Structure 1
Amino acid sequence: MQPTITLNCPHYSSFIPTKQESIRWYNVPMPRKKLPVYAIGLMSGTSVDGIDGVVLKIADKGELTIHSTVNFDYPKDIKDKIRRLIDRKIMDAQQSENLDTELAQYYAEVVCGLLETIDRKNIAVIGCHGQTIHHSPDSDPSFSLQIGSGAELARLAKIAVVTDFRSADLAAGGQGAPLAPAFHQAAFASKTDNRSVINIGGISNITFLPADDKNDVMGFDTGPGNTLMDYWCRIHFDCDYDNNGEIAESGTIQLDFLDMLLKDAYFEMPPPKSTGLEYFNEQWLKEKLSLWEGRDHATNTDILMTLTALTAKTIADQLNKLEPEAATAYVCGGGAKNRVLITLLKQQTTIIIDTTSALGIDPQWVEAAAFAWMAHRTLNRLTSTLPSVTGASKPTIAGVLSRP
């Protein structure tokens, strides 16, 4: 029997999950709603910490404004299930299917909270990225798997839902990632200044936004963001992450180990490129540590500080390649809250480092807003992927539409 959750929300009653057919968007006529409209975006990233939800207002001239937000922390058992599935420790198809449905129910909880701030009839669509389990853009065939049933979420929320944002780009020969640069362009580009946007989640990525229309937007994954640091914290410090960098701060960067890590082939690959937890993970780090002769002389705090420096260094190296074209970079994602990480980043580049708050959107909500925006584009048969970023043969209308 499928797991059930009673939603403590006036918008829903108790339910037993049922299956509902998802339909692809192609050739399905949909009326365009007059602007402004509101869309919900839901993001649960590779840090596996929880769900960010936003209501995004899209005005008639393209202005994007955060109307309201909700954050939902995954219960520990859900975090464990997700990580076990990512690590291939859950192989049973029924268990995977149960988690797919269970996550949809948690997404519905977040929608429920957001509907306390706005009338349901004003919401045009929900964009739900889903929880990434595996991203394999360079395999044959390529694929990217996110779980969290869009059909189940649409049934519960009684609002159209767009999920599976990466498959169309992969089918067009692209990496299927990063997807946020198109939103970065819509929300943060300037007509007078070149800008960069850095997202530091489990994986880090960078977007370069040229001021003119003559140059293409560029974006790619730089490598690990918080994922290796978070793993080290769980194993050695009994916490999910290094709050504000306070643990790493008392450690010392092990320069010979950092140099070894930086020699990984991914960092030298030219864009377009993307990566994920299937590459930068526990096994990757263990293999590097096994080859490092200085391991016995370093503390666990030293290792954490070195992993923090790795994230900062790999981002800074790419930023420095953009100088002097991009004078300011704006950070978003959970890494924006890590004071030590941001300090290390600033020390390794002359580019000014700020956060996306300076551009009107708090760093925590940028990714969720991106999928609200993308879902609205999908609903109106508009493309939302950039071939200059993903390497696809064409822009694509991203996502699969599920009706309530």
Structure 2
Amino acid sequence: MPQRFIGLMSGTSMDAVDAALVQINAQGQVKLEACYSLAIPQNLRSRLLKISHTDNWIADELAALDVAFSEHCTQAVKALLVKARLTPESITAIASHGQTVRHKPNFKTPYTCQIGDPARLAVSTGIDVIYDFRRKDIAAGGQGAPLVPAFHKQVFAHQKQSIAVINLGGIANVTWLGPEGQVLGFDTGPANTLLDQWVQQHYPNESFDRDAQFARAGEVQTPLLEQLLQHPFFSKTAPKSTGREEFNLDWLKPLLEKKQLSFEDVQRTLVEVTAITVKDALKTLPQQPDAIYFCGGGTNNPLLMERFAELLTPAKCNTTENLGVDPQWVEAMAFAWLGWCYEHKKPGNQPEVTGASHPVVLGSKVLHQ
């Protein structure tokens, strides 16, 4: 009998909570039934951004944000249930990723921190909540990210082709699926996070570069591009993961000093950083993919997608829509599936991706009563 899970995802961009209602059968096959995205209010988003950048955490503010973000997730779940005309009783569990406010798998004491009080979410919705998907992989020696390659393998693996699935969230990551069941994956660097931060700094009422209008008005600045590509993360070998801790405006600003660059030129150059670092990452794969599929919010950036089509030829570039999955909902669906894995005590990590010493069942669970 198929079960229903709600996957909740809010990524590095911190722009919205995506809620995906997914039906999953006994073989782990998934079907998206309904989806809902709830924008994060500016005040809450500003507080989340601030605490994710500061090294001096205030315990009361972290606790308050834990509650506030959980309440926002509750709103998303309730709206999704109304949209789907379902009751809480029809849902097996919510699989909540939470909001990452710090991710340091290479710290002297490796850790990752996602907030969004799962107990409050369970009580508020009347649905059991599965949460804390990353820390067990880190406890097993892994990076705790990326976690979506296991889902990509479940849903997209092709028996006769080598394919790559590239998620363009705040951070970009690539999954390589070999023709004989092989899987590799790692973060490649920034996708939307720097593009969005640069726009928001100059246009506080804009959350992103709609239709790449700003980037199209600029030109790639080669000296800046070369400096940006010298970031040590790009030359690291996998397994590797990254986030706002490394790619933020505090890193960008010193590189812009004494350069008379327009806002648009910087935006265009940041697009090129994403395109080139993904291209370079694909060169490190054991086998070049026959086809490349993109998902995530970055697929809405027409200039970025044009650059991929140009740089990655002759490989065919499409979105996961061509594989039957809406590119905007892959990550939220992935966490719904990871919730199903927890419920059935199946490992959710891929050690060859994260670097963990062994497969582990990811997550913890809080009951709603």
TM-score normalised according to structure 2 size? 0.96
Q: Deviations over 1:317-358 (max 9, x none)?
A: 122444863111111111010000111122111221111111
1:338 counterpart (301, 306, 310): 301
CA shift digits 1:153-207 (9 cap, x unpaired): 0111111111111110000000000011001111111112111110111111000
Report SS of the residue matched to 2:101.
Answer: strand
Map 1:3-402; keep pairs closer than 5 Å: 35-88=1-54, 91-116=57-82, 117=84, 118-213=86-181, 215=182, 217-238=183-204, 239-290=206-257, 295-296=259-260, 298-322=261-285, 325-350=288-313, 351-402=315-366
Q: CA deviation at 1:104?
A: 0.6
TM-score (norm 1): 0.87
1:248-273 C-alpha deviation (Å, 9 max, x unpaired): 11110011211111121110110000
Structure 2 stretches of 5 or more lacking a match? none
Deviation for aligned residue 1:237 = 3.2
Deviation at 1:61, TM superposition (A): 3.8
SS for the counterpart of 1:131 is strand
Question: For 1:203 and 1:288, how far apart are their aligned partners in 2?
Answer: 20
Q: Say how many residue pairs are matched.
A: 364
Q: What one-letter code is carried by the residue in structure 2 that aligns with 1:359?
A: L
Task: Report how far residue 119 of structure 1 moved.
Answer: 3.4
* Residues 89/72 of structure 1: CA separation in 2 closer, same or farther (3 Å cut): farther
* One-letter amino acid of the counterpart of residue 12, structure 2: T
Secondary structure class of the residue paired with 1:78: helix
In the alignment, residue 308 of structure 2 is paired with which amino acid?
Answer: L
Segments of structure 1 that go 5 or more residues without pairing to the other structure are 1-34
How far apart are residue 90 of structure 1 and its match? 7.2
Question: 1:92 offset after TM fit, Å?
Answer: 2.2
Q: Distance in 1 between matches of 2:192 and 2:128?
A: 32
Tell me how far apart the structure 1 counterparts of residues 107 and 55 of structure 2 sit (CA, whole Å).
Answer: 21
Contact 1:134-1:146 at 8 Å conserved across structures: yes
CA contact (8 A) 1:90 1:96 kept: no
Q: In 2, are the aligned partners of 1:197 and 1:332 still within 8 Å (CA)?
A: yes
Task: Provide the secondary structure at the position in 1 that maps to 2:51.
Answer: helix
1:122, CA displacement in angstroms? 2.3
- Specify whether residues 233 and 327 from structure 1 end up closer, same or farther in structure 2 by C-alpha distance, changes over 3 A only: same
Partner of 1:26: none
CA contact (8 A) 2:162 2:287 kept: no
Matching residue's letter, 1:378: Y
Residues 1:170 and 1:401: Cα distance change in structure 2 (over 3 Å): same
Which string of whole-angstrom CA distances, capped at 9 and with x for unpartnered residues, describes residues 78-115 of structure 1? 11111111121873211211110111111111110121
Distance 1:365 1:90 in 2: 34
User: Could you list the per-position Cα deviations for residues 126-171 of structure 1 after superposition, in whole angstroms to 9, with x for gaps in the alignment?
Assistant: 1100000000000121000011011110111111111111110000
Detail structure 1 runs of 4+ shifted over 4 Å in the superposition: none
Task: Give the superposition deviation at 1:59.
Answer: 2.3
The one-letter code sitting in structure 1 at the alignment partner of 2:263 is: N
CA 1:193/1:260 → structure 2, altered by over 3 Å: closer, same or farther? same
Distance (Å, rounded) in 1 between the aligned partners of 2:330 and 2:4: 16
Q: Distance in 2 between matches of 1:236 and 1:111?
A: 33
Deviation at 1:283, TM superposition (A): 1.1
SS of 1:363's equivalent in the other structure is coil
| C-alpha contact 2:28 2:337 (8 A) present in aligned 1 | no
CA distance in 2, matches of 1:89, 1:176: 21
| Distance (Å, rounded) in 2 between the aligned partners of 1:97 and 1:252 | 44
Cα RMSD of the aligned pairs, angstroms, is 1.4
| Structure 2 CA distance for aligned equivalents of residues 336 and 403 of structure 1 | 36
CA distance in 2, matches of 1:335, 1:95: 31
Looking at structure 2, the residues matched to 299 and 39 of structure 1 have their Cα atoms a distance apart, in angstroms, of 46
**SS of residue matched to 2:329:** helix
**What amino acid maps onto 2:58 in structure 1?**
D
Q: Distance in 2 between matches of 1:343 and 1:280?
A: 23
Aligned partners of 2:66 and 2:268: how far apart in 1?
A: 35
CA contact (8 A) 1:144 1:176 kept: yes
Instruction: Name the aligned partner's letter for residue 212 of structure 1.
Output: E
- Cα 1:161–1:340 change in 2 (3 A) is same
